[in-house]
Amino acid sequence: MPILFLVGCALAVFFFAIGLLKRTDAYKTALARAQENPAVIEAIGSPISQTGIVSGKSNVNGATGELDLFIPLRGPKGKATLYIKAKKSADIWYFQTMVAKIEKTEERIDLNLAGYDRVPLLPVSPRPSPSHP
């Protein structure tokens, strides 16, 4: 009986920790990006939902922290894994990695806007064309 109690307590702590990860803005942002991305939708269909157990590690302390997660996804046409690596500073998440890996094709779809979320994409000036004599 004490072993069952200990196993039950361990499972309760595990599922509580998973629930905390799913409430982070980083998790919600990454999942929303995957669900809205045309390439991911084409590969695994829509609607896209998180299935299975989220794994990885998290170290968040108020307005700072780090997150490294693997999120299993499923759509009507297939499965994918969403990989995210993010840092939190001044209560803002900056994504270093946000990639959906499609199970069937092994294709990797980068969902990050500019390497780090919240960093605006700067317009690139066209290079002057070389003049010909």
Q: Is residue 6 part of a domain?
A: no
Residues spanned by the domain of 45: 20-110
Which is more confident, 60 or 99?
99
pLDDT tens by residue, 94-108: 899 999 999 999 999
Predicted confidence band of residue 7 (pLDDT cuts 50, 70, 90): low
Q: Is residue 12 part of a domain?
A: no
pLDDT tens by residue, 14-29: 444 444 455 577 888 8
Rg of the chain on CA atoms, in Å: 19
Q: Is residue 101 part of a domain?
A: yes
The closest alpha carbon to 84, from 97, 94, 103, 73, belongs to 97
Average pLDDT of the chain is: 77
Q: How many domains does the chain have?
A: 1
Percent of the chain clearing pLDDT 70 (strictly above): 68
Q: Is residue 127 part of a domain?
A: no
